[in-house]
């Protein structure tokens, strides 16, 4: 399966701390994407990193990609209570008509 697998499954931190979430996958990818889902809502795209990139930043988000280890990490710095949500990594494998394959998600709780 190409499915990304995130870890940990759940993470609870104090407001102001950093949150690090990891994702591993099995086959070659074109890109890897991170999404956030607030309870009862749709997914919101956070950041996309292409296979030839190693690191990207967007505001308080930092994503790294290690294609040799087939892994990615999402770092949220200076977390806020509003960051409480589920976070999903999704991989797009190489090839025509590729699709996004989502992991099972990480539940992040940020305590005020």
Residue 99 in the binding site for another protein (CB under 8 A): yes
Residue 57 in the binding site for another protein (CB under 8 A): no
Candidates 31, 71, 72, 79: give the one binding another protein (CB under 8 A): 31
What part of residues 10-29 is at the interface with another protein (CB under 8 A)?
Answer: none
Burial class (CB in 10 A: 0-12, 13-18, 19+), 4: buried
Residue 59 in the binding site for another protein (CB under 8 A): no
SS (H, E, C) 29-47: EEEEEEEEECCCCCEEEEE
Question: Please, what sign has the CA dihedral across residues 18, 23, 24, 29?
Answer: negative
Residue 80 in the binding site for another protein (CB under 8 A): no
Contact residues toward another protein (CB under 8 A) are 30-31, 33, 35, 37, 40-45, 48, 86, 88, 92, 95-102, 104-105
């Amino acid at each position: 399966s190409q499915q990304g697998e995130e870890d940990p499954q759940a993470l609870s931190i104090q407001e102001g701390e950093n949150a690090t979430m990891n994702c591993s996958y099995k086959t070659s990818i074109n890109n890897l994407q991170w999404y956030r889902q607030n309870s009862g809502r749709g997914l919101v795209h956070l950041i996309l990193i292409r296979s030839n990139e190693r690191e990207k930043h967007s505001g308080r988000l930092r994503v790294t990609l290690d294609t040799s280890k087939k892994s990615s990490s999402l770092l949220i710095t200076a977390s806020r209570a509003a960051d409480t949500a589920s976070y999903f990594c999704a991989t797009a494998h190489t090839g025509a008509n590729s699709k996004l394959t989502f992991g099972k998600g990480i539940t992040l709780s940020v305590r005020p």
